[in-house]
Amino acid sequence: MADEFSIIDDYFKPLGEAIASPNVVLGIGDDAALLTGRPGYQLAVSCDTLVAGVHFLADTPPEDIGHKALAVNLSDLAAMGAQPAWFSICLTLPEQNERWIQGLVNGLAVLAKQYQVPLIGGDTTHGPLTLSLQIAGWVPNGEAITRSGAQPGDQIFVAGELGWPYIGLLLLNNTLADTATISKTQTRMARQQLLRPEPQMELGSALRGLATSMLDISDGLSADLMHILKASKVGARLNLAAIPKAAPLTQLAPQQQWDAVNFGDEYKLLFTVPKERIAALQSLQQRLGCSLTAVGEITESRVLTDEHGSTIKAKGYRHF
């Protein structure tokens, strides 16, 4: 049976060595990694933890867990307009299962290689299945997009359709209403967006200089919009009829549709843009071929309302 150091050498070190970076002087294998800075850039750092039974089902394939763990961290960088530099991982395992570990590494490797982000270190230990990643990324000095820059009159945009992860969870739990019909293509889409979300890295970087505030939708549309409103000290008018929804949601009751767009686990970018930059945003949308939908406007009111003026009580994923 392999010990901790054999697991590191056999599974994680090859992933770190597979991706070269001029800013990684020393990666896996010592007490700490040695890293260098990048002139003219700030370092954006984020971390996320995934726990079995909370963030994923215990029988979820390890490839999916690995992919999602890195995806949600990359999404945090995208929300700041940053590009990935490196990441580290802390893994807690209930038992030693080398096939499972290899599957996890395979899942991590897909996005690590796609975005050329090297693994520089971490830790492994025994306990309930938990995966924590820390990621760092580069953003030009003064160009990071934060939550606190929204101004009255800014338009609110969502990148992509909401509700697919919600449908995916219903499918996994076999709780989708019998009256709902869903195609094989839609089934694949729902499962993929729940288990293997794709971070919107290119869009995040491209929005530097256009967006005044931004985050990724991890806790739900209204809950995450409230994060922007609180940080920016503004309010918003949300056009509920304009929210882009996954096609299968139209077969569900209105309240369940609202629950779906506030379910979270989306990792779509939610951002604000001044009206005078809308033309530039439309050009960007055409160039990237992405779906961007205006869903509201920032106001001075310090409250969140719908298009009819009724107050919206934000809801979404609660960590405690």
Q: Output the domain CATH number for residue 257.
A: 3.90.650.10
Nearest to 274 by CA among 160, 159, 158, 150: 150
Sign of torsion, CA 166 48 291 239?
A: positive
Residues 61 and 168 in one domain: no
The pLDDT, as a whole number, for residue 5 is 77
CATH number at residue 61: 3.30.1330.10
Say what the pLDDT of residue 278 is: 98
106 and 42 co-located in one domain: yes
First to last CA, the chain: 38
Specify the number of domains making up the chain: 2
Q: CA 228 to CA 243: how far, in whole Å?
A: 17
Whether residue 16 lies inside any domain: the answer is yes
Q: How far apart are CA 236 and CA 157, in angstroms?
A: 12
From CA 271, how far away is CA 285, in angstroms rounded? 14
Is 188 found in the same domain as 133? no
Q: Around Cβ 244, how many Cβ atoms within 10 Å? A: 17
> Got the DSSP string for 292-304?
EEEEEEEESSSSE
The predicted structure's pLDDT at residue 320 = 45
Domain assignment present for residue 28? The answer is yes
Query: What are the residues facing 133 on neighbouring strands?
Result: 48, 89
**For position 175, what pLDDT does the model report?**
85
Tell me, yes or no, if the pTM score tops 0.75.
yes
Residue written as token pair 């070269």 = 20
Q: Are residues 47 and 122 in the same domain?
A: yes
Q: What are residue 248's phi and psi, to 5 degrees? A: -60, -20
For residue 196, give both structure tokens: 């293997």
152 backbone dihedrals φ, ψ, rounded to 5°: -50, 135
Distance CA 238, CA 258 (A): 13
Per-residue pLDDT of the chain (320 residues; tens, 9 = 90+): 566 777 888 889 999 999 999 999 999 989 999 999 999 999 999 999 999 988 888 889 999 999 999 999 999 999 999 999 999 999 999 988 899 999 999 999 999 999 999 999 999 999 999 999 999 999 999 999 999 999 999 999 999 999 999 999 999 888 887 657 899 999 999 999 999 999 999 999 999 999 999 999 999 999 999 999 999 999 999 999 999 999 999 888 999 999 999 999 999 999 999 999 999 999 999 999 999 999 999 999 999 999 999 999 987 766 54
Q: How far is it, in rounded angstroms, from Cα 184 to Cα 286?
A: 29
Same domain? For 171 and 261 the reply is yes
Q: Which amino acid is at 193?
A: Q
Each residue of 183-210: b (16+ CB within 10 Å) or e?
Answer: eeebeebbbbbbbbbbbbbebbbbbbeb
Say yes or no: 208 and 288 in one domain.
yes
pLDDT score recorded for residue 39: 97
On the 0-12 / 13-18 / 19+ scale of CB atoms within 10 A, 25 is exposed
Q: Which domain holds residue 78?
A: 4-140
Cβ contact 9:90 at 8 Å: no
Work out whether the CA dihedral 305, 306, 310, 316 comes out positive or negative. negative
Query: Is there a single domain that holds both residue 175 and residue 125?
Result: no
69 in the same domain as 197:
no
